[in-house]
Amino acid sequence: MNTVAADYNSMTEAGHVRLTLPCSQKDIQKLNLRPGDWAWLSDSEVVVGAQLAVDDRYGPVGVPDWAALARLDDEGAADVDRIKTELSALLSKQTPSVVDEPRILELLIQLEYSSPQNVGIEPPGTLEFRRALALRQMGKLGLALLEMKEARRNRPHDPMFDFVYLDLLRLEQMPTAVLEAQRIAETPDVTALVLSACISILTMRAEQVSGEEFDLIAEQVLAWCRRFDDAPDLHDAGPSLVALTFFNRGFVHLRSGRISLARQAFKSAQEHYPVGPMLDEVTGLQPYDRHARDVAERVRTAIAEQVPAEPVAA
């Protein structure tokens, strides 16, 4: 876990952490961080996520998000067995609560700090991936992306990691998401799982443009959908993502005025994954309007959040 050294006794009047210490500046340079980037700040007792900025008076600062905090000096924070027992109980819940997610994040950070040699038995990228999922559930998308980028560096070419990375980009950095989707989708060995994320991103882009640009993007979306249908590993994507791809092609048809084709696609989505009131609502969509776009966003996010996580080794 890459961190920037911080002194929490050196705060601005606005509650920002001053990062003018030589050790802070050294870490910022080493990590190639710039204003607007997210990072983890640490004084060896507390780790907190923060967005870097420049204060007119104090210079470089970190704007902390105290919801993304881990205390390393709490009782039991260095006890690996205790951490893993509590973490296992929380992660085994079918639906962790809003209170559980910050605690899951804190335990995952404590686990990495408590015993680096023990963490080495985990498959590379596991803890970063777990932290990214917790942060996504907490709505901390900038920090979630930070963790996913590190997870992918530790384990490149993992389809699940690529899927979550692309979905976070879709939510947080749409222009970058489009570029990454176009790059990744054109690789010859792209999996059905990852291609489904690329299709969602390009469909969202199609919803934002008009005229000739829409026609070109819509054609690309439908071409990717055909590739998805013929993917040799289609069964690995699961019924929810198959439904999502039918759902996305339905929106392209709806935007194009091809109502009958849109209805067919929405019906196929519902047949593959008849779960939840949102998909029921989709089958009745006719005009392409703000309501339709709102439904689309809720469905995409709800399905993406069902990505299974890897277990942390006991």
pLDDT of residue 119: 54
Residue 314: predicted pLDDT: 45
Task: List strands edge to edge, sheet with 17-18.
Answer: 3-5, 38-42, 46-55, 59-71, 17-18
How many residues can be counted in the chain? Answer: 314
The span from the first CA to the last CA of the chain, in angstroms, equals 20
**Alpha carbon distance 168, 152 (integer Å):** 13
Q: Can you read off the two tokens belonging to residue 292? A: 């339709």
Q: What is the pLDDT of residues 24-68, one digit of tens each?
A: 999 999 999 999 999 999 998 999 999 999 999 999 999 999 999
Q: Are 111 and 312 in contact (CB under 8 A)?
A: yes
Domain 1-71 has CATH 1.20.1050.10: no
* CATH architecture designation of domain 158-304: Alpha Horseshoe (1.25)
- Taking alpha carbons only, the member of 309, 266, 275 closest to residue 126 is 309
66 class by beta-carbon count within 10 Å (0-12 exposed, 13-18 middle, 19+ buried):
exposed
pLDDT at 309: 59
Per-residue model confidence as pLDDT tens digits over 76-86: 898 999 999 99
> Which tokens in the block code for residue 191?
């999996």
**DSSP per residue over 266-277, as a string?**
HHHHHHH---SH
- Cα distances (Å, whole numbers) of residue 181 to 63, 105, 147, 168, 242: 31, 28, 19, 12, 18
Pair 72, 297: CB distance under 8 Å = no
How far is Cα 244 from Cα 15, in angstroms, rounded to an integer? 43
Residues of the chain with pLDDT under 50: 314
Instruction: Check residue 8 and give its pLDDT.
Output: 92
- At 188 the pLDDT is 87
**Which conformational region is residue 139 in: left (phi greater than 0), alpha (psi within -120 to 50 degrees), or beta?**
left
